[in-house]
Structure 1
Amino acid sequence: MEVFAHAGVAHQPLSMSQLRGVSAPRLALGGVRLLQAVTQASRAMGAFRPDACLVTGGYVSAPVVLAARLRRIPVVVFLPDVVPGMAIKTLAPLASRIAVSFPNTRDHWIHSRQVVTGYPVRPEFHSASRERGREAFRIRADRTVVMVMGGSSGARSINYAISDMLEPLLHHADVIHLCGEPDEPRLRSIRSGLGEHLRTRYHLFKYLHRGIADALAASDLVVCRAGASTPAELPMVGVPSILVPGSFAGGHQRQNASVLTDQGAAITIPDDALIGSSPTDPSALWPTIKSLLQDPARLQSMRDASQRLARPEAAENIVSLLRSVAGKSG
């Protein structure tokens, strides 16, 4: 809700919760909540009078799609990940078209109404600047930069691995580290214990409110998870990456990572290999980072491969699809 409010986008919350358990009382309660949410969604559509409806999956999409169909409003289902979840598979038969982010979705799921649109990225990725990013972090143009991030709340396995290898890594590169809130105090303490020369090379943040695209563009290598936006955002700035897919969400991140690794734009390291037998064993990560930093030709090849995967027209493709199902042009 805060995101919509901050962006000034009108929104209507729905009284809908995920179904947990299959006992009769829980199923009955889930059915009642679904009907309530369908009613709320239908009333909102009656006031807003949309020409088309776009949903992106998750249990909250169900009442929206049902309300749209009851009002004969065409529906476009957008699949952000490579592999669809249960909600999208269930709602797909009710959709006029299904927009998929990546071509290799068809290796896992084929539907007659699929259209490959690409994954729309934020406007800042269309104008990202390596020079502006370096200036923002006060990093010289001739320095190598490794960016590390683990999503909005960080990634503990990545954070532990990076902290254990931090000193040798800082001898090779400046590090921009978006660590999330839970690990920040520990990492801040480690940073304060570094010598001044290395400390100035370690740029530690919980997260960035703005400038994330410039930070990525300023980097020579990125270490991160493989969320839905990763295979779209990294190619927009053409940066090579080491991906550490999370094991949650049904393993979707492993398939997301394959979008980049299959084309030579990234290397994937399993999360369990990253931490090994203890949370401070970076055996799989540090040799990989060091090898890449010492091989400029391979980094350039990965950068080129990443740039070839960029889909800057993705948002326009989805808008065109919505106009098409709504019977509008221009």
Structure 2
Amino acid sequence: MSKKTIVFTGGGSAGHVTPNIAIIKEIGNDWNIQYIGSKNGIEKELISKINIPYHGISSGKLRRYIDVENVMDVFRVLKGCLDARKALKKIKPNLVFSKGGFVSVPVIIAARSLKIPIFIHESDITPGLANKISQRFATKIFTSFEETKKYFPAQKTSVIGSPIRREIFKGSEEKGRRFLGFHDNRPILTIMGGSLGAKKINEAVRGALKKLAAEYQIVHLCGKNNMDSSYSSVPGYKQFEYIHDELPDILAATDLVITRGGSNSIFEFLALKIPMLIIPLGLEQSRGDQILNAKAFEGEGYSITLKEENLTMETFVDQLETLQKKSGEIRRNMEQSKMGDALQTLVNEINGLSS
């Protein structure tokens, strides 16, 4: 029996791509898999690492504010629809799966015009603009949060949680400590500011580094071009632009984590039972989705929150002390989480299309 074909789409940030990669790895050889993304976006870089056929299309940016570029982007999106339709007619997929981001909209519009079934997944509590547009064309919609369901048609929406990559569970604490050169006498604090880093978080960490290093061994993922060699000699402090292959081992060794409020990351830390201090992107940098994600997790007792506008060296240290004191309670709350296996749910839904 010949394999069916699935096209994945989504891009603009790593958060719109890594869940797709998790699903791709899980369905493996059962499907012919291809990807449609922007010509030069981060999705192209990430998908190239897993050797999946990639089709680049024209894409604009879906802005929520008035900008002269909006006029040009109308034409870019129309060109993207034509590009996507041409690619889909050639690929002839049985299903399109989207994780959102502005590049997904032309793909979904083109898929609908060709009567191809469409699944979309929304990670955040409030849907992004791309998924707001795409929902009318979707066959099925999946969300990470219960609160999100109200934004979509109830008859085709299911709350399943966030699809978590399997490899994140395969880390070795021993390997992580060995890679970092850390001993087991002090807890390990991991600081993750997102794929691009976080200038304000980096400044707070380095400002408080002397105090932090007296209590923790610190892994600082500070983002591209954000390493500072003047701190390289601080004992028990390791900084990296980004970690890929060794991340599961580092997280296996991690006792506490400082993170942004991206849905994919915080659901991974929940699954790994790592107490977290969430410092969400502020409204001046985002639509506020990370703030709502952080509020939901804090409400469940999985984390504590420090708003970016309140972030200073002093508040950072204070909140970290609070996290340490509450860590046992937070882990107990995490143990009681009813979060299901969203990745397996999505794989079952996808495979159900071919049965």
* Larger relative contact order, structure 1 or 2 (CA cutoff 8 Å, min sep 6): 1
| Residue 257 of structure 2 is aligned to residue 257 of structure 1 | no
Cα distance change on mapping 1:175 and 1:72 into 2, 3 Å: same
1:313 maps to which of 338, 341, 353: 341
Letter aligned with residue 305 of structure 2: T
The CA distance in 1 between the partners of 2:99 and 2:167, in whole Å, is: 22
How large is the Cα RMSD of the aligned pairs?
2.3
Superposition map of 1:216-295 within 5 A: 216-247=251-282, 248-275=285-312, 282-293=313-324, 295=325
Cα distance change on mapping 1:25 and 1:79 into 2, 3 Å: closer
The CA distance in 2 between the partners of 1:22 and 1:253, in whole Å, is: 23
Cα distance change on mapping 1:149 and 1:23 into 2, 3 Å: closer
Shift of 1:258: 2.5
Percent identical among aligned pairs is 28
Q: Deviations over 1:45-96 (max 9, x none)?
A: 1222211111122221121111111111111111122210122112111111
Shift of 1:32: 3.5
Letter aligned with residue 144 of structure 2: S
For the residue of structure 1 that corresponds to 2:56, the secondary structure is coil
The CA distance in 2 between the partners of 1:89 and 1:70, in whole Å, is: 18
The CA distance in 2 between the partners of 1:139 and 1:250, in whole Å, is: 38
The CA distance in 1 between the partners of 2:217 and 2:341, in whole Å, is: 33
Q: Deviations over 1:239-278 (max 9, x none)?
A: 0011100112201111121342111111000001113xxx
| Residue 150 of structure 2 is aligned to residue 90 of structure 1 | no
As a proportion of its length, which structure holds more strand?
2
The CA distance in 2 between the partners of 1:9 and 1:259, in whole Å, is: 35
The CA distance in 1 between the partners of 2:347 and 2:69, in whole Å, is: 41
Partner of 2:165: 122
For the residue of structure 2 that corresponds to 1:283, the secondary structure is helix
Larger deviation, residues 200-209 vs 264-273: 200-209
Residues 160, 340 of structure 2: 8 Å contact kept: no
Gaps of 5+ in 2: 1-43
Q: Deviations over 1:16-67 (max 9, x none)?
A: 222567689954x444433322222122112222111111222211211111
Q: How many residues align?
A: 308
| Residue 117 of structure 2 is aligned to residue 109 of structure 1 | no
The CA distance in 1 between the partners of 2:235 and 2:62, in whole Å, is: 49
Partner of 2:95: 52
The CA distance in 2 between the partners of 1:34 and 1:243, in whole Å, is: 35
Residues 97, 120 of structure 2: 8 Å contact kept: yes
The CA distance in 2 between the partners of 1:100 and 1:309, in whole Å, is: 17
Letter aligned with residue 290 of structure 2: Q
Partner of 1:73: 116
Letter aligned with residue 113 of structure 2: L
TM-score scaled by length of structure 2? 0.80
The CA distance in 2 between the partners of 1:300 and 1:119, in whole Å, is: 24
Q: Deviations over 1:205-258 (max 9, x none)?
A: 122132212212211111111113122110121100111001122011111213
Name the larger-Rg structure: 1
Cα distance change on mapping 1:101 and 1:125 into 2, 3 Å: same
